[in-house]
């Protein structure tokens, strides 16, 4: 029997779940079982949990349907637990280092106890000092084990379930379970402390609770706040049934109604049904008020008296006088330039155009990437929606014939941004763009993340300095309604890197549709356009940007590589788009395709890919053609840029560290042998689950046409897809 059973619900926190599980497995005290509770096999969280279970036998995942909520997930974990003590950990929180060793030592001091409340640390999601909210409840508790009557203010009402250890035999004896609904901790902790006979406290921090940027889900507006009254009534009924003495019932009553009054006085939490909430709370107050109970002083005492009297109108008037004024519309950001600001402000007063969609890619670099693929599919499936692309002035000539466009920064562009119902971008629109009620912003992203992104970059000084204000970045994230994801890995990273209230769309990348829909004639045409000699093996070399470099450095002598790799080899050089200066040329056997509009065309033309850490590898993997990772500076890149996973441990093909190794794998054919194919197959399974050629259709039908998810075309399994054929004859899996 392990000392501790640690139960970790994971619904909605797949992006942080790995960190929570790692914080447990890294503990110096190892006598525990770790029970992640996931929605279902195949869910993003289940994949994370399964990976940890493969690495450590103490991890034993179980499943609970999302419909049962947090309470159902915890109860499912309790049912299979075998430890002496139960611990709960939210999937986006962590155990502090040494927590289990300290907890075990404290239990050795006190002997068996029913409940051991502990300190926890609440860490602001971004800036600010950590706090210890449980400290006032614990600081006056006796030093050893004690009966709850000796610490009457330790009622459990203000204690999260994950900030205590619970003796499993005690839980089973009293048939304790988390009650359904919201605010389940109130019902669990309140009832458990009523039943406990022997309690002790620990003033050591057990859990580091990481506040969400979106705020505590229990504090968000909605009808779920009525559940607080259900939990309050449940605890009060049990206290009455036990005949709790006044010295204990008074603090319990006061703490329960402190939470109730806080909700009743907060207008945003109850957008409707406030009067009903107040009346029911008033009835509970009068029905359970302990004999001799004296309300607290000050404003809170006034609220107690109004609640006892059922005086809703007076309570509402008091509440309204305390309400903070909202931000004025004039405080919203505006574009630069007085005339432009005035013009944009005027356009914002006009109604949204329900049939207008505005697209932009790479900060106006032209008609490209996911926005272009969505625009093209929308012309086919939603022809009533007028689509306009925004581009920089020097990129206007790149827009295909028949595509309407506007120049970024022009009055016309700002008018379109003000009136459009749909705004689609693979980067971000300018800060001055206002998110209007009724508008729909779709963030398509432009790659699968290997490197750190968003707020995860904050701990890497070189990257953080180039990123600018993270506060402004997150202001732009707040405009997103949908965020497109090409695989579960990306979904987890976006959730952590760009915290917001948007909806993830795991539909695949529309720009990658062509890797399934293109044919041999398309490949031949593109190769001819790029100048690839007939019969040549075209190797695409696509290095990524280095934040610690000041300009483009190829990192490889490409002419020497061609000579060493084989006489039929030519290189298609595609530098990162940061270094696109509009030029294009050929030098010997190296063809510079950096300025070519479509990276998808370049990939279709290539028989193999050589890259370092560019996200192009995730897209190219859809073609099931050989990939070689040239990782000559992996350690430096990992330390300066930060990465989401170890590419060298799970690569899409052979890994070369030197120019000689790179040339050798092409010369001897190992870049395309069975071993390379096996690595590529595992990589595709992980990173290409949704790119089946119908991603753009799913996006258009869901976002622009408003179709429900169940009406969209299902994803074609990876094994049933037929990628566009390569031009050269290669050893294929």
pLDDT digits (tens, 9 = 90+) for 164-216: 999 999 999 999 999 998 999 999 999 999 999 999 999 999 999 988 776 66
Each residue's pLDDT tens digit, 496-507: 889 888 999 999
Of residues 731 and 1, more confidence is placed in 1
Q: Are 95 and 206 in contact (CB under 8 A)?
A: yes
What would the mean pLDDT of 699-726 be, rounded to a whole number? 95
Residue 689 has pLDDT above 80, yes or no: yes
What would the mean pLDDT of 613-621 be, rounded to a whole number? 95
Using 50, 70 and 90 to split pLDDT, how confident is the model at 336? low
Cα–Cα distance for residue pair 544/277, rounded to 1 Å: 57
Q: Are 698 and 716 in contact (CB under 8 A)?
A: no
Each residue's pLDDT tens digit, 49-89: 999 999 999 999 999 988 888 999 999 999 999 999 999 99
Residue 149 β-bridge partners: none
Judged by DSSP in three states, 321 sits in helix
Q: Residue 371 has which token pair?
A: 């926005």
Highest mean pLDDT among 136-150, 287-301, 588-602, 609-623: 609-623
Residue 624 has pLDDT above 50, yes or no: yes
Each residue's pLDDT tens digit, 269-302: 888 888 899 999 999 999 999 988 888 887 788 8
Q: In whole angstroms, how far apart are CA 301 and each of 293, 588, 661?
A: 12, 85, 77
Q: Residue 495 has which token pair?
A: 């959730």
- DSSP track, 518-584: --HHHHHHHHHHHTPPTT-EEEEEE----TT-SS----S-HHHHHHHH-TTEEEEE---GGG--S--
How does strand 590-592 pair with strand 569-573? parallel
- Report the interhelical angle of 246-264 vs 274-288 (nearest 10°): 170
State the pLDDT at residue 215: 65
What would the mean pLDDT of 562-577 be, rounded to a whole number? 87
Using 50, 70 and 90 to split pLDDT, how confident is the model at 327? very low
Q: Is the pTM of this model over 0.85?
A: no
Of residues 401 and 45, more confidence is placed in 401
Average predicted confidence (pLDDT) for the chain: 89
Q: Which residue has the tokens 């990992």?
A: 638
Q: In whole angstroms, how far apart are CA 88 and each of 78, 167, 373, 579?
A: 10, 12, 45, 50
Residue 210 β-bridge partners: 123
How does strand 94-95 pair with strand 202-210? antiparallel
- DSSP track, 451-507: B--GGGGGG-HHHHHHH--HHHHHHHHTT-SEEEESSHHHHHHHHHHS-SSPEEEES
DSSP 41: T
Cα–Cα distance for residue pair 218/220, rounded to 1 Å: 6
State the pLDDT at residue 586: 58
Residue 337 has pLDDT above 50, yes or no: yes
Least confident span in 128-132, 372-376, 484-488? 128-132
What would the mean pLDDT of 356-367 be, rounded to a whole number? 95
What would the mean pLDDT of 386-410 be, rounded to a whole number? 94
Q: Are 20 and 8 in contact (CB under 8 A)?
A: yes
Using 50, 70 and 90 to split pLDDT, how confident is the model at 692? very high
Q: Which residue has the tokens 């990173």?
A: 687
State the pLDDT at residue 475: 86
Of residues 511 and 467, more confidence is placed in 511
Residue 63 β-bridge partners: 38
Residue 420 has pLDDT above 90, yes or no: yes
Judged by DSSP in three states, 239 sits in helix
Per cent of the chain over pLDDT 90 is: 65
What are the residues whose beta carbons fall under 8 Å from the beta carbon of 418, sequence distance 6 or more? 344, 347, 348, 350, 434, 436
State the pLDDT at residue 191: 93
Closest CA to 220 of 175, 286, 251, 266: 266
Residue 313 has pLDDT above 70, yes or no: yes
- DSSP track, 74-111: HHHHHHH--SSEEEE--TT-EEPTTHHHHHHHHHHHH-
């Amino acid at each position: 029997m392990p000392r501790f059973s640690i139960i970790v619900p994971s619904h909605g926190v797949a992006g942080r779940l790995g960190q929570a599980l790692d914080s447990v497995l890294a503990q110096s005290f190892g006598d525990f079982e770790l029970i992640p509770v996931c929605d279902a096999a195949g869910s993003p969280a289940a994949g994370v949990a399964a990976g940890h279970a493969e690495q450590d036998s103490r991890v034993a995942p179980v499943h609970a349907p999302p419909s049962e909520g947090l309470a159902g997930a915890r109860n499912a974990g309790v049912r299979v637990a075998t430890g002496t003590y139960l611990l709960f950990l939210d999937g986006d929180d962590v155990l502090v280092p040494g927590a289990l060793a300290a907890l075990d030592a404290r239990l050795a001091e006190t002997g068996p106890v029913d409940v051991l409340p502990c300190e926890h640390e609440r860490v602001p999601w971004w800036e600010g000092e950590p706090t210890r909210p449980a400290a006032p409840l614990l600081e006056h508790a006796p030093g050893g084990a004690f009966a709850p009557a000796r610490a009457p203010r330790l009622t459990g009402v203000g204690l999260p379930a994950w900030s205590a250890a619970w003796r499993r035999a005690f839980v089973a004896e009293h048939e304790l379970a988390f009650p359904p609904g919201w605010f389940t901790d109130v019902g669990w902790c309140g009832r458990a402390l009523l039943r406990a006979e022997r309690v002790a406290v620990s003033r050591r921090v057990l859990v580091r609770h990481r506040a969400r940027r979106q705020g505590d889900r229990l504090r968000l507006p909605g009808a779920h706040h009525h559940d607080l009254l259900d939990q309050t009534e449940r605890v009060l009924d049990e206290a009455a049934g036990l005949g709790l003495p006044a010295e204990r019932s008074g603090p319990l009553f006061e703490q329960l109604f402190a939470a109730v009054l806080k909700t009743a006085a907060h207008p945003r939490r109850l957008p409707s049904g406030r009067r009903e909430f107040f009346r029911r709370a008033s009835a509970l107050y009068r029905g359970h008020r302990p004999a001799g109970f004296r309300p607290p002083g000050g404003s809170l005492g006034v609220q107690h008296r109004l609640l006892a009297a059922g005086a809703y109108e007076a309570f509402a008037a008091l509440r309204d006088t305390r309400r903070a004024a909202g931000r004025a519309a004039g405080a919203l950001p505006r574009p630069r330039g007085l005339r432009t600001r005035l013009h944009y402000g005027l356009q914002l007063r006009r109604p949204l155009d329900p049939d207008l969609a505005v697209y932009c890619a790479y900060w106006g670099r032209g008609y490209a990437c996911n926005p272009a693929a969505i625009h093209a599919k929308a012309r086919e499936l939603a022809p009533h929606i007028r689509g306009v692309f925004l581009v920089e002035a020097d990129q206007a000539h790149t827009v295909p014939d028949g595509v309407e466009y506007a120049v970024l920064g022009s009055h016309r562009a700002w008018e379109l941004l003000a009136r459009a119902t749909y705004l689609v971008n693979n980067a971000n629109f300018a800060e001055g763009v206002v998110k209007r009620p009724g508008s729909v912003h779709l963030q398509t992203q432009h790659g699968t993340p290997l490197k750190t992104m968003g707020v995860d970059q904050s701990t890497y000084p070189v990257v953080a300095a180039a990123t600018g204000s993270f506060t402004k970045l997150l202001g732009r994230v707040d405009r997103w309604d949908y965020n497109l994801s090409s695989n579960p890995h990306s979904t987890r990273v976006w959730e952590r890197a760009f915290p917001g209230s948007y909806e993830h769309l795991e539909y695949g990348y529309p720009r990658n549709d062509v890797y399934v829909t293109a044919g041999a004639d398309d490949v031949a045409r593109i190769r001819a356009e790029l100048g690839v000699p007939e019969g040549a093996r075209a190797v695409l070399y696509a290095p990524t940007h280095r934040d610690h470099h000041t300009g483009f450095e190829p990192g490889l002598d490409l002419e020497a590589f061609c000579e060493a790799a084989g006489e039929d080899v030519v290189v298609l050089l595609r530098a990162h788009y940061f270094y696109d200066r509009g030029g294009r040329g050929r030098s010997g056997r190296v063809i510079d395709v950096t300025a070519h509009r479509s990276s998808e065309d370049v990939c279709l033309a290539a028989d193999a890919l050589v890259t370092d850490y560019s996200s192009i590898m995730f897209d190219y993997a859809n073609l099931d053609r050989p990939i070689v990772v040239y990782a000559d500076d992996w350690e430096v890149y990992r330390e300066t840029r930060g990465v989401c996973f170890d590419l060298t441990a799970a690569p899409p093909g052979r890994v070369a560290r030197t120019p000689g190794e790179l040339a050798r794998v092409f010369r001897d054919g190992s870049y395309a042998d069975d071993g390379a194919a096996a690595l590529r197959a595992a990589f595709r399974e992980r990173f290409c689950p949704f790119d089946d050629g119908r991603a753009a259709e799913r996006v258009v039908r869901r976002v622009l046409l408003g179709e429900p998810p169940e009406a969209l075309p299902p994803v074609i399994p990876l094994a049933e897809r037929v990628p566009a054929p390569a031009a050269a004859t290669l050893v294929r899996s």
